[in-house]
């Protein structure tokens, strides 16, 4: 299944605008995932959004609240948020260029791939890629995705472009607050020479494929053994009984459920209307 673009818009360099799409460069499908099960009943544990004295509530009835004082909030309607107009919602402009080594690793957050949206955009796309590679620079700009404006850098990556989101300066802790207990003494020369020699001997080109998640592999091995073992406790969760009338909202499926309810609310109401008895 082809990945879905997280963002579509224009990558702008001065007066040149290139239609592009942004995709996540990481995946989580290979990770072992678990569901929480209520052991006595054998049913899945679900998370519900509820209000004291009211009980479970629908997703469409929930709005954002900003605390202005103790237990006092101003309410923000989704339409109010949508009215915030930022050019970075549709345009990712490269406003500055720096050497890649100038950016501390502390700032890097998450990688994304940038691709040209169509064949007509590929010429301009390649020009930006090759210009960055030849100059040995990375481009800086801001882009709005998923309701947040990110600081990001763009660099060549093989045949394409890689975007990495960066932390803002006020999101990082000062290192001095963490390293206060480390005394500033001189390092023993002999120990330093031994450590340096060891580093030299183990220096080699970086190859990420040489490293694997051993914990995940051990966990998968354990699960495979449990599946084969007939004595392993098992439960059959099944579907929740709709007759129970529980309006439980799974956080992962909240949006889908709310859309289904909104689209089929009227028709479902008609179906539930009692029939009139024939005279």
Contacts by residues 262-271 (CB-CB < 8 Å, ≥ 24 positions apart)? 262/60
User: Is 43 a domain residue?
Assistant: no
Segment 213-248, tens digit of pLDDT: 888 888 888 888 888 888 888 777 765 554 444 444
- 130: in domain: yes
Looking at the predicted structure, is the pLDDT value of residue 152 above 70? Answer: yes
pLDDT at 1: 65
pLDDT per position as a tens digit, 57-114: 988 888 888 888 888 888 887 777 777 778 888 999 999 999 989 999 999 999 999 9
Beta bridge partners of 11: 18, 92
Tell me the C-alpha distance between 105 and 119, whole Å.
Answer: 34
Mean pLDDT taken over the chain: 83
pLDDT at position 259? 58
CATH of the domain at 147: 2.40.290.10
- For 13, the domain range is 7-29+83-170
Residues in the chain: 279
Check pLDDT > 90 for residue 190.
yes
Q: Is 23 exposed, middle or buried (0-12, 13-18, 19+ CB in 10 A)?
A: middle
pLDDT attached to residue 95: 95
Q: Is residue 105 part of a domain?
A: yes
Domain count across the chain = 1
Share of the chain above pLDDT 70, in %: 84
Overall average pLDDT of the 33-51 stretch:
86
Higher pLDDT, 3 or 85: 3
Residue 223 lies in a domain: no
Residue 60 in domain:
no
For residue range 109-141, list pLDDT tens digits in order.
999 999 999 999 999 999 999 999 999 999 999
Q: What is the spatial distance between Cα 96 and Cα 183, in angstroms, rounded to a whole number?
A: 39
- Distance in angstroms (rounded) separating the CA atoms of residues 155 and 165: 12
């Amino acid at each position: 299944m082809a990945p879905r673009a997280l963002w579509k818009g224009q990558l702008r360099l001065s007066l040149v605008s290139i239609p592009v799409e942004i995709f996540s460069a990481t995946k989580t499908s290979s990770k072992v995932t678990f569901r929480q099960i209520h052991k006595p009943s054998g049913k899945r544990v679900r998370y519900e959004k509820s209000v004291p004295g009211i009980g479970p509530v629908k997703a469409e009835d929930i709005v954002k609240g900003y605390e202005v004082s103790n237990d006092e909030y101003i309410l923000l309607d989704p339409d109010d948020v949508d009215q915030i107009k930022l050019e970075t919602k549709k345009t990712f402009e490269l406003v500055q260029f720096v050497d890649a080594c100038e950016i501390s690793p502390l700032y890097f957050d998450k990688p994304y791939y940038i691709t040209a949206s169509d064949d007509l955009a590929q010429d301009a796309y390649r020009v930006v890629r090759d210009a960055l590679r030849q100059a040995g620079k990375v481009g800086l700009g801001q882009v709005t995705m998923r309701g947040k404006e990110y600081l990001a850098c763009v660099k060549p990556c093989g045949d394409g472009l890689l975007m990495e989101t960066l932390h803002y300066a006020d999101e990082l802790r000062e290192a001095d607050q963490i390293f206060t207990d480390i005394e500033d003494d001189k390092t023993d020369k002999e120990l330093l020479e031994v450590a340096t020699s060891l580093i030299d001997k183990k220096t080699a080109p970086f190859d990420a494929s040489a490293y694997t998640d051993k914990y995940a592999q051990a966990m998968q091995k354990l699960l495979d053994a449990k599946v084969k073992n007939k004595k392993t406790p098992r439960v059959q969760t099944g579907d929740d009984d709709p007759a129970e009338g529980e309006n439980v909202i799974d956080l992962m499926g909240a949006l889908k459920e709310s859309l289904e309810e909104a689209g089929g609310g009227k028709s479902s109401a008609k179906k539930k209307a009692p029939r009139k008895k024939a005279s």
